[in-house]
Amino acid sequence: MTDPWDIVEPRIPEADKAVEKAFHRFGGARSWVAANSALDAGLRVLDLGYGQGLLTVELASHTGTAVGLDRLHEPCTAGATRWLAERLGLADRIRLIAGDARRMPFKTNSFDRVVSFLAFQDIFMGAGAQGVKRVLDEVYRVTAHSGRVALADESFPEQARRGAEHLV
């Protein structure tokens, strides 16, 4: 797959490139999450908290369709994700939805895979431990009985922030 940075970088204002490059550096981790999610063509995959859409694009390159769900669903972010997917020939395999992961707009057992990368830290900061629990209940509900869930995040106890890094 073409490196998304090569496509996106020329469109980013110079003042924002350092931040965007820092986010892009997680590309290896995103690829690892996608590669270890046992993806096959035809699977229904949900990217929970799609953010900038880079994981959604990665997932779509491995499977039939990737659905991204994000509470913010900002027009510029969704537009950038769609733009990137078009450049990679994946636009028809991506669906982006605005919604709250605590009340997902999907039927029970809708997805074969549910994947999330760096979303739970934001859920915790915005909704606390009860919000995280509610999202996990929803993940369980929308995942098919034979499905798999892959969560990669910094908000788990072994990744706890300390001192000045502590946000909550």
For residues 13 and 82, the answer to whether their CB atoms sit within 8 Å is no
In a domain, 159, yes or no: no
In a domain, 104, yes or no: yes
**Residue-level pLDDT at 132:** 92
In a domain, 162, yes or no: no
User: How many CA atoms lie less than 13 Å away from 160 in the CB half-sphere?
Assistant: 5
In a domain, 56, yes or no: yes
Residue 154: closest CA among 162, 146, 142: 162
- The total number of structural domains in the chain stands at 1
Domain containing 24 equals 4-153
The pLDDT tens digits for 61-81 are 888 789 999 987 667 678 878
For residues 97 and 106, the answer to whether their CB atoms sit within 8 Å is no
Residue 136's pLDDT band, with cuts at 50, 70 and 90, is very high
In a domain, 164, yes or no: no
**Residue-level pLDDT at 117:** 87
For residues 153 and 119, the answer to whether their CB atoms sit within 8 Å is yes
- Confidence check: pLDDT of 36 > 90: no
Q: Average of pLDDT values for 121-147?
A: 93
Return d(Cα 4, Cα 57) in angstroms, integer.
9
The pLDDT tens digits for 97-114 are 999 999 999 999 999 999
- Confidence check: pLDDT of 28 > 80: no
Residue 119: closest CA among 58, 164, 66, 54: 54
Tokens standing for residue 168: 């909550």
For residues 109 and 143, the answer to whether their CB atoms sit within 8 Å is yes
**Residue-level pLDDT at 164:** 43
Instruction: Give the range among 42-51, 121-130, 138-147, 152-161 with minimum mean pLDDT.
Output: 152-161
Return d(Cα 145, Cα 17) in angstroms, integer.
42
In a domain, 74, yes or no: yes
For residues 107 and 115, the answer to whether their CB atoms sit within 8 Å is no
In a domain, 111, yes or no: yes
- In this structure, what CATH number is given to the domain that contains residue 35? 3.40.50.150
Q: Average of pLDDT values for 139-165?
A: 74
Mean pLDDT is highest, among 9-13, 71-75, 118-122, for 118-122
In a domain, 163, yes or no: no
